[in-house]
Chains A and B, each alone.
Chain A
Amino acid sequence: MTDVDGALVRAENVHKWFGQNEVLKGVSLHVGRGEVLSIIGPSGSGKSTFLRCINQLETYQKGRIHVGGELIGFEDRGGRLVPLPNRRIVAQRRNIGMVFQQFNLFWHMTVLENIIEAPMLVLGQRRVEAEATAMALLERVGLSEKAHAYPMKLSGGQQQRAAIARALAMKPDLMLFDEPTSALDPETTGEVLNVIADLARSGMTMIVVTHEMAFARQVSDRVVLMEDGKVDCEADPETFFRDQPSARLKAFLATIH
C-alpha cells in the first residue's frame, strides 16, 4: 500500500444517508501511518457509521475515503465514482482489521479456530503456519490457555481479546476499534485497554472510537470530537483535553464527568 501525502487513511468530505436521514455530513479526517486516532462524541453522532464506511460494511454516497492510496469502495472514472464489484470490496477489507463492541466471535469455533479461519480461507495459509501465528497472538493478548475454549465459555474481556487476536492474524495495515470496551464490566475493561495500548505502542495504525477519556488521552496521537455527523474539532490529546478548543467539546466533556 502506498500513502497519499503521508497519510494511510484519508477521508474527504464523506457523506452518508440512511434513507432521508443524513448521518455523515461531510467528514474529513486523516490518519498517518503508525498513528493512533481516537474518536469521541455523543451517541448517534455517526462514529460507528464512519468506521463502517472505511471497511465497506456501509457504503458512503459522497466524498472519498482512501486507505493506503486506494479509493475505498469505488472506482474513479474521470471524477465520477463507480461502485466496485463485490469481489474488489472483499479484497479491500483484507488489509483492514475491525474490532466490534459485541466481539462477534464465531460461536461454533474455538478461540484458535476463530483466529486461523480467515488466514487459511482468505490468505491460503497452511494450518501449521496459521496456528503458529495464532498461538503467538494469543500469548500476546494473554489468552494462551483459552486456545481450545469456545467463546460462550469466556468472559467478555477474554472474548474481546480473542477478537483482537483474530483481526491481527490477517496482518492488517489498519485497525478499527468501535467502542471495544463499552460492553464490558469495569473489571475487564482494563485488560482489553492494555492490549490495545500495547498494540498502539507497537506502531499499528489505529482508529479507536471510545468513551474512555483517560485511555484516549494516554494512548492517542490525536483526538477528534465527532458531533452530528461532522468533525467538530481535533487536536493532540494534551491540547484537546486541557484547552478543550471548542464550545461543543467543553459541553460534551462536561456531560461525561
Chain B
Amino acid sequence: MGFDWPFFWSRLTDPGDLYMIALGRTVLMAVLAMLLGLVIGVLVGFGRLSKFAPIRAVCAFYVWLIRGIPVLVLLVLFFSGLAAAGFFRFSDITLFGITMSASFQAAVLGLAIHEGAYMAEIVRNGIQAVQRGQIEAAKSLGMGTFQLTRRIILPQATRVIVPPLGNDFNHLLKTTSLASVIGVQEIFQLTESMSATTFKTFELLIVVSITYLALTTVWNVIQGLIEARLRRHERDEQPTTLFAKIGYYLWPRGDAAMERR
C-alpha cells in the first residue's frame, strides 16, 4: 500500500507509445471539435441576429436545446442512441492514411455540437458589442454589408470573442475525457484500463491529471500570445519579448484594464 513513487516517476517520465498516441487522440479530438464548433458557433451566432425570424428561431432553438443536455448524454446518444434506433451508425473511415474510429467521429461531432451552442452565444455577444456608430461610419464610406462584416464587425467582434473562446477550449481539452465512455482510446480511457490491470489507480490518475494540466498550461501560453496581439490597439508600449507578451495576458496591469472602458 501507499504511494508507489518509482512506478509514478517511470509513468511520468516514460509514458510509452500507447500513452502518447492516446494523448495525440485527446488533442486531435479537442482541436477538431473546437474548429467544427467554431463553424457552428459563427453560423448560429450570426443566425441569432438574422433579419429573418425563422432563422432566428431555429438558431435560438438549437442553443436552448443543446445547452439543456449534458455532454455525456449527448455523446452516448450520438454513438449508441442513433445506431440503436437505426437512424445512423458511425463507421471507421481512413483519411490521408489516418484511421478515425467510429467512436472518435461520434465524440468529435457530439463535442462540436455541444461547443457550438456555447460558442454561438459568445459570437452573438461579440457581434453585438461592435459599436453601432462604427457600422454607420463604414456604411457612410460606401461599404456594402459583406465588406463591413468582414473588415469592421468580424475583427472587432474577434477581440471580444477570443478570451471566452479560449476559456471554452481549456474546458474542452478536459471534457474529451468523457469520450472514454463511448470507447475512444484517449488518455483517460487508457489510464482506466491500465489501472484495472496494475491496480496503481491513484498513481495513474495523478499522472493523467498532470497531463491535462500540461495541456491547459500550453494552451494558456498560446492564448496569451493571441490576446496580446489582439489588444495591440489598447496599449501605449507594446510587449515585444515572448515573456512580456505572456506576462501581459497572465498579469494584466490594473490601469490597462480600466482604460479599456
A151 proximity list for chain B (CB < 8 A): 233
In the complex the two chains form, is A121's CB within 8 Å of B156's CB?
no
Q: Separation in Å of the A136 CB from the closest CB of chain B?
A: 18
Would A104 and B156 be within 8 Å (CB), given that A90-B144, A121-B143, A122-B142 are in contact?
no
Contact present for A100 and B137 (CB under 8 Å): yes
Q: Select one of A86, A94, A98 contacting B145, CB under 8 A.
A: A86
Is there contact, CB below 8 Å, between A94 and B136? no
Chain A residues lying within 8 Å of B259, measured Cβ to Cβ, are 152
**Which of B143, B151, B159 has a CB less than 8 Å from the CB of A90?**
B143
Whether the pair B143, A118 counts as a contact (CB closer than 8 A) is yes
Nearest CB of B to A204, in Å = 16
Q: Does B10 contact A (CB under 8 A)?
A: no
Q: How far is the CA of A118 from the CA of B134 in the complex (A)?
A: 13
Instruction: Kindly list chain B residues whose C-beta atoms are within 8 Å of the C-beta of A140.
Output: none
Count of B interface residues, CB-CB < 8 Å: 24
The answer to whether B131 and A104 touch across the interface, beta carbons within 8 angstroms, is yes
Q: Among A109, A118, A170, find the residue whose CB has the most chain B CB atoms closer than 10 A.
A: A118
Query: CB distance B142 to A104 under 8 Å?
Result: no
- B139 lies within 8 A of A108 (CB): no
Indicate if the CB atoms of B140 and A108 lie closer than 8 Å. Answer: no
B140 & A167 in contact (Cβ 8 Å cutoff): yes
Residue interface bits A75-118, CB-to-B below 8 A is 1, else 0: 00000000000110011011011101010111111100000011
Cα A117 to Cα B148 in complex, Å, equals 10
* A118–B156 CB distance below 8 A: no
Count of A interface residues, CB-CB < 8 Å: 32
Overall SS of chain B's interface: helix
> How far does the alpha carbon of A90 sit from the alpha carbon of B145 in the complex, in Å?
9
CB distance A170 to B141 under 8 Å? Answer: yes
B136, B232, B234: residue with the most chain A Cβ atoms closer than 10 Å: B136
Could you tell me which residues of chain B, from 121 to 143, have a CB within 8 Å of some CB in chain A?
A: 131, 133-134, 136-143
User: Which B residues touch A150, using CB under 8 A?
Assistant: 232-234
Scan residues 64-118 of chain B and give those whose CB is less than 8 A from a CB of chain A. none
Chain B residues within 8 Å of A166, by CB: 137, 141
CA distance A106 to B136 in the complex (A): 11
Minimum CB–CB distance from A222 to chain B (whole Å) comes to 24
CB closest residue in chain A, given B130: A107
Asked if A55 is at the interface (CB within 8 A of a chain B CB), the reply is yes
In the complex, which residues 133-154 of chain A have their Cβ closer than 8 Å to any Cβ of chain B? 150-153
Cα of A94 to Cα of B141 in the assembled complex, Å: 6
Q: Per a CB cutoff under 8 Å, which of B136, B142, B155 touches A108?
A: B155
- Chain B residue numbers with a CB within 8 Å of A96 are 140
Q: Is B236 an interface residue (CB 8 A)?
A: yes
Cβ of B43 within 8 Å of any chain A Cβ, yes or no, is no
The complex places the Cα of A153 from the Cα of B140 at a distance, in Å, of 24
Shortest distance between the CB of B138 and any CB in chain A (Å): 8
In the complex, chain B residues whose CB is within 8 Å of the CB of A118: 138, 141-143
**Are B139 and A57 within 8 A (Cβ)?**
yes
Name the residue of chain A whose CB is nearest to the CB of B152.
Answer: A106
- Given the interface pairs A121-B147, A121-B151, A153-B236, the reply to whether A107 lies near B141 with Cβ below 8 Å is no
Q: How far is the CA of A98 from the CA of B140 in the complex (A)?
A: 6
Q: With a CB–CB cut-off of 8 A, which chain A residues contact B142?
A: 90-91, 93-94, 118, 122, 170
A residues in contact with B151, CB < 8 Å: 117, 121
Would you give the shortest CB distance from B129 to chain A, in whole angstroms? Answer: 11
17 sample A-B contacts, Cβ–Cβ < 8 Å, listed by A number: A57-B140, A86-B145, A90-B142, A93-B141, A93-B142, A94-B141, A94-B142, A100-B133, A104-B133, A104-B137, A105-B137, A110-B233, A122-B143, A153-B236, A166-B141, A167-B140, A167-B141
Known: A94-B141, A108-B159, A121-B147. 15 other contacts (CB 8 A): A57-B136, A57-B139, A57-B140, A86-B145, A90-B144, A104-B137, A105-B134, A106-B152, A117-B151, A118-B138, A118-B141, A122-B142, A122-B143, A152-B259, A170-B142
